[in-house]
Every structure is written in structure tokens, then in C-alpha cells.
Chain A
Amino acid sequence: TQLLEQSPQFLSIQEGENLTVYCNSSSVFSSLQWYRQEPGEGPVLLVTVVTGGEVKKLKRLTFQFGDARKDSSLHITAAQPGDTGLYLCAGGVLGQDRGSTLGRLYFGRGTQLTVWP
């Protein structure tokens, strides 16, 4: 059972289109990270969101953390072929001690995005 569910699993679109990918859970996270991964390489950190309701923008990418800190979305405007890759969300879980954060990240299975020219 995945702690984080990502949807869609695959997304194939034309250059210039907009898209949104989702990351959902029934668990509360202390933070939510988004990564992009190319074939044969390690994930590259795009953004960290920490506060419920937080919105962060990175050029054409907009990231939102749900109010309850259980879900997140990534919206890409005017997608380009260079955006092609595997987008992974990863959550850090609160520890037993108030305010502490455990070490591990829980990853979703990812959304494979292909943007055609």
C-alpha cells in the first residue's frame, strides 16, 4: 500500500498545453517535496512546501500544499518538451515528539510526463 498516491500515472501532451498532477494521502505530512527524475539519474529536488495552503511558483510550475497537509498538486503552464520526465512527490512524516521529523521520505510512484513538440 502506497502512503502517497499520484495521478495520473502517465500523461502525454502537446507542447503549449497546461497540466496538473496530483499527490494524495490520508496521512498528514510535515512537508511535501516534489522531484523530477530523468531516466538513469537520481531525482532532482524542485520544491519543498511546509505550510498548509502554501503555494510556490517556479517559473511555469506552480506547487500547492493542501490545507490539511495531506495532499499536493503540481500545475505546469505552457508545457515544453524539456519538462518531460518522471515527477515524484515525497512526504516527510511527523515524529512522535511534537515538532520532530523522522528521517525517511515516503515517495509516490510518480507521474511520467511526455511533452511532444
Chain B
Amino acid sequence: DTGVSQDPRHKITKRGQNVTFRCDPISEHNRLYWYRQTLGQGPEFLTYFQNEAQLEKSRLLSDRFSAERPKGSFSTLEIQRTEQGDSAMYLCASSLPPRVNEQFFGPGTRLTVL
């Protein structure tokens, strides 16, 4: 399978715990994006990388959130001190310039904070 993969698919955690999600993009895609989707809403942009450089971060990405892509391949998204409001589907996507807007999504990680 050469699509975008995400791990884990589901995560249940208690408020205050830290969680980390992983995304593996399509192998030749050098752009990688993180989005968050809550029930009844479309995905909302969080951040994106071109290779290992983090080029843009949304205001939604509070200081409890950090994303990395150290070698320009896979990426991790960490949420520290989780809150119930962090419960959402976290989606990763990748694309290849110049068609940067043709973003291909992974299956997502469903986070539930109790």
C-alpha cells in the first residue's frame, strides 16, 4: 500500500496525559500536513512541513501541541497535558509540488480524552 498511513488509528487517554501520533506520507511527497476534524465540521488546518521544515502553523496549534518531521519523511504530532477539548480526529495528508493542493489523506487517528 503506497498511501498515507497513520498510527494509532484510535487512542483513548485520560485528561492530563501526553499522546503522540505518527504519520507516514506517500513516499515521494515532500509536503506533509496535519489537520483536526471534530464532529460536524470539515478538517481544520494545524500545520505543514516541506521536507523537514515546518513552514506554517495555525493559531489552533497551542503551545501544548508540537509537530516534527526530523528527516523529512514521517512526522509526529504530540499533544501534552491533553484536555477534553482535544478529542477529535487527527488527519495527516501529503502532497507533491507543484500540485500542492492535491492533498491525499490518511485514515486518521481518533483521539478520545476522558
Q: A: which residues have CB within 8 A of B?
A: 4, 30-31, 33, 35, 40-45, 48, 88, 90, 92, 101-110
Across the A-B interface, give the 10 residue pairs with the lowest CB-CB distance, nearest first. Answer: A107-B42, A92-B101, A42-B105, A104-B45, A103-B48, A31-B101, A42-B108, A43-B105, A42-B107, A107-B43
Residues of A close to B4: CB separation below 8 A: 42
Shortest Cβ distance from residue A96 to the other chain B in the assembled complex, whole angstroms: 13
How many residues of B are in contact with the other chain, CB < 8 A? Answer: 28
Q: What are 19 A-B residue pairs whose CB atoms fall within 8 Å in the complex?
A: A31-B101, A33-B102, A42-B6, A42-B93, A42-B105, A42-B107, A42-B108, A44-B105, A48-B99, A48-B102, A88-B42, A90-B101, A102-B56, A103-B33, A103-B100, A104-B58, A107-B42, A107-B43, A109-B41
**Nearest A residue to B98, CB-CB:** A101
The contact of B43 among A30, A43, A102, by CB within 8 Å, is A43
With the chains together, A83 CA to B1 CA distance in Å?
Answer: 24
